[in-house]
A and B are shown apart, each in its own frame.
Chain A
Amino acid sequence: MAHAAAMHEDVMLPPPSREAGAGVYNEKLGMWIFLGSEVMFFTALIGTYVILRFAHPSSWKAPGQVLNIPVTAINTFLLICSSVTMVKAFAAAQDGLQRQLRLWLLATVIIGASFVGVQVYEYTHLIEKGFVPSEGLYGSTFYTMTGFHGFHVTMGVICMMFVTARAFQGKYTKDDHRGVEVIGLYWHFVDLVWIILFTIVYLI
């Protein structure tokens, strides 16, 4: 029986790996692979947008004619601010500064939720003006791209609330703060996507 168990272990347990892999821990590697798939997701949306826009240029209005650029510029600024608060939270976690970690994470949640709130305000006003998803190519592509991005931000805020709650429980230390880093990568990616979308959807 003991021999059988030993044989079983020999078969089932792989030898210790000498490969360093990507040189990062699994959760971070997993997030980067997920973000790679997200790049392709948004690439599909942007590619479709480019095809439709070049094929039907008359369907699009000049920048600022329909969309409220000042409001969206404020929203863009908010998202940039949330990225800096997020990275400051990560730096605080690296330095073991618990109070700063909590404050910066809380600021990121508040600013991220504000971004979603401003987007809801923007949508409400656009729909009141008659600019709806069924308006045509302009409306459908606008709501699809910004809507999917808004969904990502909303999910990010929910995850960030979870991470913030754990930070308030003292779950992240100077030696292990993987949760903060992984949600940070997602959050910065969402900011990065908005930087591209703001330019091609609102300004061009």
Chain B
Amino acid sequence: MSHPDHPASPGTRPTHAHPNYILIWVFLAALTAVELSVAFLPWPKTVIILVLVGMAFWKAALVGLYYMHLRFEPKRLRILAIAPLPLFAVLVLAVITEYIW
């Protein structure tokens, strides 16, 4: 279905080979299983939180880079997509530091 307003329809044609989506799915499922195990280990609470948050961001990065194709998008779109993340980090770290120090 070509659109008269978008004769070229940039972005709809694949510009790269499909990543191995199933392998990424296996990774995501495996990381979730590891998360479930780590949550109940007799480790210090701080260590568990750091490991779990790290793994959650790892999984989120896999989804963003491969399923949302950010890895293959033009640089300007990647900048647009990651622009809110520093704001996220500033807000969350600011409120955490308020209770740590």
**A-to-B contact residues, CB < 8 Å:** 21-26, 28-29, 32-33, 35-36, 39-40, 43-44, 46-47, 50-51, 54-55, 63-64, 69, 73, 76-77, 80-81, 83-84, 86-88, 91, 94-95, 171-173, 175-178, 181, 184-185, 188-189, 191-192, 195-196, 198-200, 203-204
Within 8 A of A (CB), among B54-74: 55-57, 59-60, 63-64, 66-68, 73-74
Q: Are B74 and A172 in contact (CB under 8 A)?
A: no
Given A23-B74, A29-B77, A195-B56, answer yes or no on A50-B68 (Cβ-Cβ < 8 Å): no
Given A173-B1, A176-B2, answer yes or no on A40-B68 (Cβ-Cβ < 8 Å): no
- Interface of chain B: mostly helix, strand, loop or mixed: helix
Residue numbers in B under 8 Å from A51 (CB-CB): 95, 98
Within 8 A of A (CB), among B1-32: 1-3, 6, 9-14, 18, 21-22, 24-25, 28-29, 32
Given A23-B77, A50-B96, answer yes or no on A192-B63 (Cβ-Cβ < 8 Å): yes
**B-to-A contact residues, CB < 8 Å:** 1-3, 6, 9-14, 18, 21-22, 24-25, 28-29, 32, 35-36, 39-40, 48-49, 52-53, 55-57, 59-60, 63-64, 66-68, 73-74, 76-77, 80-81, 83-85, 87-88, 91-92, 95-96, 98-99
